[in-house]
Structure 1
C-alpha cells in the first residue's frame, strides 16, 4: 500500500485545505478564522508528493523522465489556468459594461502579464486583487520547473540538487525581493521536499512512520500552530504549521490504516479533493455568484450563509470545469507521457499526483 503512487488520503487533506482557502475570501470572517493556512498545507503537500515520486522513479528506473514529467504538469496545470484567466477577464468586462466603472478592467490589464507568465507573486499593488490568489501558482510553477531539473541533473547526488535549488531561490530573492508569502511558499515546498529526501534515503526513519500512528499527534501539532497564529499572528506560526502538516502527510502516506488516514480516505472527502485545483482557481467567481444569489433571494448574507452557498457553488462550477476541461487535458498529458515511455520500452505512469 505505501508503495502506491496514489494516496487517496492526500485528496482528503486537500479537501480541508481548500475549505480554509475559501473561508479566507469570504467577507466578514470572524477573528478566529484565518483561511490563509490552507496554502501553508498545500505547499508541503506538493513538495512531498513531487519529490517522493521523482526519487522513487529514479530509484526504480535509474533516471527521471523529465520530459514525461513536464508533459503531465503542463496538461495538468496550464489549460484550466488560462481558461480561468479568460473567465475573470470576461467578468471584468461585464462589470465595466454594466457599471461603466473601468477599475477592475484596469487592474486586470495591469496584472495580465504577471498572470499569463505565472509570476503573480510579483504583481504590483496597482494590479488589484483580480485573481490575486494566483500568487501561489507562481511559486509552485517555479518549483515544478526548477526542482525536477535539479534532481535530474544531480543524478544520484541529491545534496547537489538541494544546494542548486537554494542558490536559485536565493537568486530570485536577490533579484525580485522577498516577503512573507514567498518565504511561506518556498519553506513549505522545501520542508515537504526535505521530508521526501530524508525518508527516501532512510529506511529506518520510514519504518518509524509505518509502525507508529503519528497522524493524530501531527494533527494536534497543527492545531497548536493555528491557535498560536490566531493569538499572536506571525509568519513563524505559518512555517510551523507547514512543518506539522508535512508530518501529517508523511504519516498517512506510510500508514494508511491508522484511524486518521481511514477518515481522510472517505469517499466524499476524496471526491471533493479531486476538485481542489478547479475550486481554488474559480472560488472568487463562486463567492460573487453566491452573494448575488443571496441578494436576489433576499436571504441573510452573513459570513456563514455566504460560505455555505459559495462552497456549494464552487463545487458545482469546479465539477463542470473538471469534467469539461481538467480531466480531458490531464488524460492527454498522461497519454503523451505514457506513449513516449512505452516507445522507449518503459512502462507508462499513471500516477495522479504528477
Structure 2
C-alpha cells in the first residue's frame, strides 16, 4: 500500500474507535463496547506518533522535541479551548456550577485523576469537561515518551525491551489492584481512567511502529491472514467474557495483542478491510474524530438534561446529527486553520 492510502485506512480505523464510543454513549452501552473504542484510539495514537518520530529521525538524524510539543499544541489546544468555552456556556444554561480547579484539570492534563478522586461538577447534567480524561492519559505519555525516544532509538533492541517491560509492568500492576487490593476497595474508574493502568494501550501501538520500522521481518509475520483471524477471535473473546475483574486486568492487554495481530490486515494490506477503512466516509470520520469525541459528550449531556422525554430514536438521531455538525465546524474553522498557522513554527 502506498503512504497515502495507508494513512486513509488508519483514519478509518480511528473512525471505528470513535464510532464505538459515540454509539455506546448513545444509550447503547449495554450492547456496544465503547471501552474498546478508547483502547483502539490509544493504540492508534501510539503507533502514529512513534511512526512519525522514526520518520523524522531517519530523515534528519535527530528529533526536535520542541517542535514536537508545538505540533501537539496547535493540533489539540485551540479546539479544546473553544470546546471548554462552549461547555461552560451549556453548564451555565443548565445552572450547573463549576470550579476553577476543573479548568486547571483540563488544561494541565490531570482530568483523569481529578475525575477519579474528586469528580467534576454536575449531577443533573453530566459534566462536559469529564470527557477530557483520555486526553490526559495521552499527554502524560507524551510528556515522557519523546525523551525516551531520543535516548534509545539508536538502539532499537533496548528501546523495544523498555517498551515490553513497561507493558508487562502495567499488566502486573493491574493484576495486583484487581486481585490483590480488590476493586471494591478502589475508587470508581480507578483502573479504567488512570494513566498508570492504561498507558500500555498506547505502548502497544508504539511497539508495533518500532517493530515495523526497525525489524523488516515483522511485515512478513504480520501479513498472515491466519494471524489476523486469530487476533479477531481473541478480540471477540475479550468482549464475550463478562467478568468485571477480567475486564479491568487482563482485557486491555489481550486487546492490545489482538490489535497487533490484526493491524496489518486492517491497515497495511490491499485487502477488503483496508479498502473499507480507507473509504472517503470512514477517512473523514477519522479526521474529525478529535472534535467528535469532545462534542458528542457535550451533546449527550445537553440532550439528557433538556430532552429526557424524547424517544430513544429521536435522541439518538439528534445526538448523531448535532455531534457531527459541531465536530465538522470545529475541524474546518478551528483545527485546520490553527494547524496551518502553526506549521511554520512546528516543522
TM-score scaled to structure 2, two decimals? 0.80
Q: What is the RMSD computed on CA atoms of the aligned residues?
A: 3.1
2-structure distance, mates of 1:155, 1:287: 43
Please, which of 93, 110, 117 is the counterpart of residue 119 of structure 1?
Answer: 110
2-structure distance, mates of 1:155, 1:240: 26
Contact 2:47 2:206 in 1 (8 A): yes
Please, which of 308, 311, 316 is the counterpart of residue 317 of structure 2?
Answer: 308
Counterpart for residue 221 of structure 1 = 234
Of 62-71 and 46-55, more deviation after overlay is shown by 62-71
2-structure distance, mates of 1:230, 1:263: 33
1-structure distance, mates of 2:253, 2:147: 26
Q: Kindly tell me: are residues 49 and 211 of structure 1, through their superposed partners in 2, closer, same or farther at Cα, counting changes over 3 Å?
A: same
2-structure distance, mates of 1:92, 1:289: 9
2-structure distance, mates of 1:33, 1:184: 23
1-structure distance, mates of 2:63, 2:160: 13
Contact 1:119 1:138 in 2 (8 A): yes
Counterpart for residue 22 of structure 1 = 22
Cα deviations across residues 322-352 of structure 1 (Å, max 9, x unaligned)?
11111111112223223xxxxxxxxxxxxxx
Counterpart for residue 247 of structure 2 = 234
- Determine whether 1:93 maps to 2:105: no
Unmatched 5+ stretches in structure 2:
174-186
Aligned-pair distance for 1:279? 0.6
Aligned-pair distance for 1:105? 1.3
2-structure distance, mates of 1:139, 1:49: 16
1-structure distance, mates of 2:22, 2:132: 14
Please, which of 97, 109, 125 is the counterpart of residue 105 of structure 1?
Answer: 97
Q: Kindly tell me: are residues 152 and 136 of structure 1, through their superposed partners in 2, closer, same or farther at Cα, counting changes over 3 Å?
A: same
After TM superposition, the structure 1 = structure 2 runs for residues 158-237 of structure 1, keeping only pairs within 5 Å, are 158=156, 159=158, 163=162, 166=166, 179-182=191-194, 183-210=196-223, 215=228, 217-229=230-242, 234-235=247-248, 236-237=250-251
Cα deviations across residues 119-171 of structure 1 (Å, max 9, x unaligned)?
1011033424522121110110122232112212335134258649959x99x
- Determine whether 1:247 maps to 2:240: no
Cα deviations across residues 7-52 of structure 1 (Å, max 9, x unaligned)?
101111111211221233334x363333122111111111111112
Counterpart for residue 322 of structure 1 = 331
1-structure distance, mates of 2:303, 2:82: 21
3-state DSSP of counterpart to 1:63: coil
Aligned-pair distance for 1:66? 2.3
Q: Kindly tell me: are residues 5 and 32 of structure 1, through their superposed partners in 2, closer, same or farther at Cα, counting changes over 3 Å?
A: closer
1-structure distance, mates of 2:242, 2:253: 10
3-state DSSP of counterpart to 1:105: coil
1-structure distance, mates of 2:88, 2:306: 21
Residues matched between the structures, number: 318
3-state DSSP of counterpart to 1:33: coil
Aligned-pair distance for 1:294? 5.7
Cα deviations across residues 150-207 of structure 1 (Å, max 9, x unaligned)?
212335134258649959x99xx9xxx9634335530101111112222222111123
2-structure distance, mates of 1:210, 1:132: 39
Of 323-332 and 282-291, more deviation after overlay is shown by 282-291
Of 280-289 and 214-223, more deviation after overlay is shown by 214-223
2-structure distance, mates of 1:35, 1:215: 22
2-structure distance, mates of 1:32, 1:198: 35
Aligned-pair distance for 1:249? 3.1
Q: Kindly tell me: are residues 290 and 23 of structure 1, through their superposed partners in 2, closer, same or farther at Cα, counting changes over 3 Å?
A: same
1-structure distance, mates of 2:261, 2:342: 31
Contact 1:110 1:126 in 2 (8 A): no
Counterpart for residue 100 of structure 1 = none
1-structure distance, mates of 2:264, 2:18: 19
Contact 1:2 1:253 in 2 (8 A): no
Aligned-pair distance for 1:83? 1.6
3-state DSSP of counterpart to 1:32: coil
Of 141-150 and 264-273, more deviation after overlay is shown by 141-150
